[in-house]
Structure 1
Amino acid sequence: MRQIPLRRLAAAFALTLIGAAPAFAGDPIVLRLGNITDPQHTETKAQDYFAKLVSEKTNGEIQVRVFSGGQLGDAGAQLEAIRLGAQDMYAGGTGNFGKYVKDWNITSVGFVFRDTEHFKRVLDSDVYKSMEQKLQDRGFRMVLRNGVRPGKPIISTKPIMKPEDLQGVKVRIPPWEGFVKTFEAMGAKTVSLPWGETYLALRQGVAEVASATVSGFAGQSLHEVAPYLTLVDFFNDSFTIVIGDRKFQQLSPEHQKALLEAGHEAGKYYSKLAVEDQAQVIEEMIDEGAVVIRTSPRPFIEKMGPVVAQMEEQGTWETKGLFQAIQDVK
């Protein structure tokens, strides 16, 4: 039998070790995280904090690069890129998840949650966790799930104090059925536009009302063209970060654990920051000419009863009794 020199065996063994080296040897793993918020938005700040935590927890072996302001496309395009493996992560609300799991459509329906405290309890409920699992089955895993957004009020070019004030008014909406049905229940007309076009739409009269977080309003300077801020929480949803589940499964168990821990800590950081930021932003908007309207949500809520029943009957979400299950969370 032919003898193989020891130096060749050593070289072959070295090459084998190189081939078996983990993916993080040498250059770090870089994960691209996209959003549609401006760089100073509380959500973007939370993502920067998440990126910092991930780097610390992995000793620099994973680096998260944050692309803000829709650099990677609108929310729908970014989620589709994740599904196709062209993007790693997306940060934002939950309204766009309904395209993949119909139950998530309920999070874009007005007044589904009684208040922020009720919403927090729903986040920890079996109902919500079941929805998360369905989303994961479709390829999206939440690494940040506990970001409690302040409720979404409305901003407008004229005062809105009761549902009747929305009769015939043009409301800018994202392409979510829940938003459409909510404002149609108030007698409004809906105009579907990308968030980045909202300022121009309000200025030109294409839209007269928009709904988002107060930070979102300020980030786009919407109060310059729509000075009336009605502080009724029409919508509640969570701030999340999702990663493609295939990408997540490619990471080592240690790296997976680091991402989840960083997500949980960043979620708590965001929830605190968002409340503080909203109070400060409202004061700044008032100083810049905004008019704050505080009114009872009850008349708006009463308009939603028949609409919710109709949406469930029509299969807007797939789980029968989902609305009631959310209401029953104590």
Structure 2
Amino acid sequence: MKGIVSSAVVASALFFTGCGDNKGDSKETKASAETAKQTYTLKFSHVVSPNTPKGKAADYFEKRLEELTNGQIDVQVYPSSQLYNDNAVLKALKLDSVQMAAPSFSKFGKIVPQLALFDLPFLFKDIDHLHRVQDGEVGNALKGMVTEKGYKALAFWDNHFKQFSSSKKALLMPEDAEGQKFRIMSSKVLEAQFHAVGANPQMMPFSEVYSGLQQGVIDAAENPISNIYTKKFHEVQKYLTISNHGYLGYLVVMSEKFWNSLTPELQAKVEQAMKEATDKEREFAEALNTEQFNLIKEYAEKTGKLEIFTLTEEQREAWRKAVSKIYPDFYDKEVIGEDLIKKTLATE
């Protein structure tokens, strides 16, 4: 009898619920369904060719996000500055004219100067330490600072570590840099880095570096292997030192307006696709760095015009001691911040 009464009560409840006014519920259900069906177009603008690590990772992200969302988000990748260069893309993101980009850290200099952390010399022990910093507390803090400025910061992508090159003298110990004219990007950190070892830093557009080295306007430079090889700097320098002393990378950012238009479920899928694309980008960057370094070694062996050195642990330590004295100059939170620097050094 108890079972019969319960069934009757349930049936009655269902009957009266069905007869009630469910217009509010119907509207919510309909709105939810419409949101689930809504499609989005995500334009991803970058400045390099499709066959670079950044270009290949962008294409991987496109494929993966479209798979995860069953095409609900249509990713359209525009390489080689087809839409915007890195100087213009941050403004375009604010306007939601483009939804994603991966500018170099230097482009965020006036927005979040703390990203100059990555310019500090000999701050990272190796590439694994660097990635632990980027994926941990320090990286999250930096991404948070960018997000506070009206973007959605998603991930750090590699170019790679920088290496020293010179036409005057092999750079093995800090004193070897004394008096040499080094080309630098516009950066207070890099300026301080070379002043610390008695060198003469000179700001110069990247497009002028080859001729500057060739004509002796500058003696030396610092670049990742990809820049050295593709721009043929190794052909106008006598010495190359594998120092891994500084880092160049990119920050993948999304339009805040576009991010906020996505449901939490779609946001989670964007983050998943980005995590997978970031892992791939790091693999691509490492592979390219190795491949191009081997090509530079072949050139050196074939021509005898270039000597290649790799810093020993003792030499690295000598450089680290010489240049780390500049770290306190950037303890101000408005520049980089003591907390970020010390947490980077303490990251295991």
- Coarse TM-score class (shorter-chain normalised): 0.7 to 0.9
User: Which structure shows the higher helix fraction?
Assistant: 2
CA contact (8 A) 1:96 1:176 kept: no
Structure 1 gaps, min length 5: 1-16
Question: Deviation string for 1:180-207 (max 9, x for gaps)?
Answer: 2222222222233343443343334343
Relative distance call for 1:218 and 1:254 in structure 2 (3 A) is farther
CA contact (8 A) 1:49 1:266 kept: yes
Look up the match of 1:217. Answer: 228
1:176 to 187, 190, 212: 187
TM-score (norm 2): 0.76
Shift of 1:268: 0.8
Shift of 1:43: 2.3
CA contact (8 A) 1:120 1:148 kept: no
Question: Deviation string for 1:124-168 (max 9, x for gaps)?
Answer: 3323312211211112222333x4554221233343222223223
2:307 to 291, 300, 304: 291
Look up the match of 2:163. Answer: 153
Look up the match of 1:300. Answer: 319
Shift of 1:246: 2.1
Number of residue-to-residue matches in the alignment:
309
What is the DSSP-based 3-state SS (H/G/I as helix, E as strand, rest coil) of the residue aligned with 2:102? strand
What is the DSSP-based 3-state SS (H/G/I as helix, E as strand, rest coil) of the residue aligned with 1:212? strand
TM-score (norm 1): 0.80
**What is the rounded CA distance, in whole Å, between the counterparts of 1:55 and 1:196 in structure 2?**
37
The aligned amino acid for 1:233 is: N
| Matches for 1:1-330 after TM superposition, within 5 Å | 29-35=41-47, 37-71=48-82, 74-145=85-156, 147=157, 150-158=160-168, 159-226=170-237, 228-236=239-247, 238-289=249-300, 290-295=306-311, 296-312=315-331, 315-317=334-336, 319-330=337-348
Structure 1 residue runs of 4 or more that deviate by more than 4 Å after TM superposition: 20-26, 69-74
Shift of 1:60: 3.5
Structure 2 gaps, min length 5: 1-29, 301-305
CA contact (8 A) 1:232 1:294 kept: yes
Structure of greater Rg: 2
Question: Deviation string for 1:236-292 (max 9, x for gaps)?
Answer: 355431112222212343432332111111111122222222222111112223532
The aligned amino acid for 1:154 is: F
Relative distance call for 1:282 and 1:76 in structure 2 (3 A) is same
Relative distance call for 1:183 and 1:283 in structure 2 (3 A) is same
Shift of 1:327: 1.4
CA contact (8 A) 2:238 2:307 kept: yes
What is the DSSP-based 3-state SS (H/G/I as helix, E as strand, rest coil) of the residue aligned with 1:288? helix
**What is the rounded CA distance, in whole Å, between the counterparts of 1:235 and 1:133 in structure 2?**
23
